[in-house]
Amino acid sequence: MHPGLHNISGNVSGNISDNINSANLEPKIVECRAIPPERIGINGEYDYDGLASRVRLLLSEQLTNSVEALRISQRGRVVVVIGPWVTEEMAQKIITLSLEVEGATSVEVNGLYLGPRSRPIAHIEPNQYLPNAS
């Protein structure tokens, strides 16, 4: 007998090769048909950039021509919005609508500028938040 070696029924048997052959060691292929939410395309098909496509469609429907100049992409479940000048109200709508799309967990905004063209939305002066910085 070989301690710890069990066949399918759980009984210990005396022959190692019988146990190996009796236990079904064939690899099992498990089909995974579920598409992650961030990879679902506009029509429900697999699309590597599906989240970005669905966000782009929603924004174009809800905000009409205001989003033509925006570049919308994704990094996993993060929606990345890059573009030129928008109002603060428009930026908030873009973020709110983007988060409503299934699969989006956060929105990263780059290059959206408010007010004068010389100041970006998230402009931070060097050393502004560092204490005792000179």
In the DSSP assignment, the letter for residue 43 is: T
Q: What is the pLDDT of residue 5?
A: 41
Q: How many CB atoms lie within 10 A of CB 52?
A: 22
Backbone angles phi, psi at 81, to 5 degrees: -115, 125
Average pLDDT estimate for 72-92: 90
| Of the candidate ranges 37-46, 61-70, 103-112, 122-131, the one whose mean pLDDT is the lowest | 122-131
C-alpha to C-alpha distance for 5 and 130, rounded to whole angstroms: 64
Q: Is the pLDDT of residue 133 over 60?
A: no
CATH topology of domain 37-110: Alpha-Beta Plaits (3.30.70)
Q: Domain coordinates of the chain in residue numbers?
A: 1-30, 37-110
The residue type at 132: N
Q: Which residues pair with 120 in a beta bridge?
A: 113
Question: Stretch 10-22: mean pLDDT, rounded?
Answer: 52
Nearest to 63 by CA among 89, 44, 42, 82: 89
Non-local CB neighbours of 101 within 8 Å, separated by 6+ positions: 51, 54, 55, 58, 79
Residue 130's pLDDT is what? 46
The pLDDT assigned to 112 comes to: 76
Q: Tell me the CB-side half-sphere exposure of residue 114, using CA atoms within 13 A.
A: 10
Pairing label, strands 106-110, 71-75: unpaired
Tens digits of residue pLDDT in 27-61: 666 566 799 999 999 999 999 999 999 999 999 99
